[in-house]
Structure 1
Amino acid sequence: MVLLVFTGVHAQHSIKLLVKDKHEKTPLAGATATIPVLKKTMVSDSLGRVVFSNILEGNYVIKLSYVGMEEMETSISVPQVDETILFLEEAEEHEEEVIVTATRISRTISDIPTRVETISGEELTEKGNMKPGDIRMLLNESTGIQTQQTSATSYNSSIRIQGLDGRYTQVLRDGFPLYAGFSGGLSLMQVAPLDLRQIEVIKGSASTLYGAGAIAGLVNLVSKTPGEKREISFMANGTTAGGLDLSGFYSQRFSKTG
């Protein structure tokens, strides 16, 4: 008796990948490569190479991922002719940045050696709604700052920083001194918060940039810039003495101007 046994043998192949940074053209060690249909996952070595063994002929979708890089998906045909080089691109990260202008140049707050405190966003809107037309409430929320009323009739107020007299505090508007530096008698009631984007405060001497008027520090009132959408705001104030004032703000971007 003769027994014949036939066994089907399928050719086994390998998938070889080389993972690199798209811009630096350097190998990426620790990149994760996955073949979902086979449920196989490999990690690139120190040279950026990935090898999948015992793979049957066919087309396979491979997914690549790496920390800080965009995920990538590609198709590989087996058997391969040569090692496949794949490039991963750096992922874009959108982080909220606070831009300050109180140092003459607009820079991110993390790049400035001087400590700059900012009041902006929801805090500015919230305090503005609680007491419209008066920015003193905004300034009083910050430690080390006190607004002192200097006139009962005109409601003039001075800003004291770290206990020093108001004449040593410089008040700026978009980086420029209000009334050529003579802003100690400015009525803060006349500074409507409608067009304020943020308030920047520097505590301590800033006289190097702004002269002797900024010995105690400075307060910079930064105006809004026109956005993509048109903005219209109105504010009316009334007093028990019969006083009434109306303020308005309108902004719109026209091409590159606004």
Structure 2
Amino acid sequence: MAQINHVETGTQPNPQLSLIPSTWETDVRELDLRHRREAGLALAQSFAADPLSLYVMGIDDAACWPSEKIWRLHVLLMQYSYASYRFRGIATTIGGDYDAIALWMPPGTTNDDWLATLFSGMWRLWYQLPRESRKRLFGEMFPALHGTKAEVLGDRNGDSYYLGYLGTKVNSRGKGHATKLLRHMTGKADAENRAMYLESSNASNNRFYAKFGFEVKSEIVLTRGPVPVRLFCMLREPQIDKTSSLVDMGTEKD
């Protein structure tokens, strides 16, 4: 049966009905493991030009694989990462097409164990990645991330909120999506009097995070490539007056 979506209207306009929820583009939604493929692809698109992603994929390596193959591996890495975080953590999104995504590990949870590694598929990367990428990811980056986080947080390492990923697609930036995703969790952390921790892979984003109360506490320098890549380890203490959770971001590009 044919469907016709053109309807003649009279002089009196009628409200346009739609099955799309009115808040679909503006409200924060939680995702589950069923969204693994779509969310992973959205994260891959968001981090396609990220310095850390380029480094891990080894595009500076003379033996780098063809770009199409590297892109497919990048998508797989993000899909595995999504599953690793969502296995015990929280995944949120905003926008009609996974325009921005945040992956969190709440207090008392971890994705740094064999069960999460097996469940998510992260173990497959050991066999799928090029040799140099494998060394950078498993031999250099992961140990540095785990060690520095434990050093910065100390006794609170297992009792804080960890932001593993916050990514926005290029054509959706500047709309406040990242701001809403952060506010969604900073208020919860403040109410529980808990710290928050993240690693920023782009120095230009540090100012954005600082508006929420994050401060750089340490740096990680990855040196297996011709140009060192820096990660900025940022800590946010609980905000008693909550003002930093409600800050007006103005025209900040997030």
Short-chain TM bin: under 0.3
TM-score, normalising length: structure 1? 0.19
Q: Which has the higher helix share?
A: 2
TM-score, normalising length: structure 2? 0.19
Q: Which has the higher strand share?
A: 1
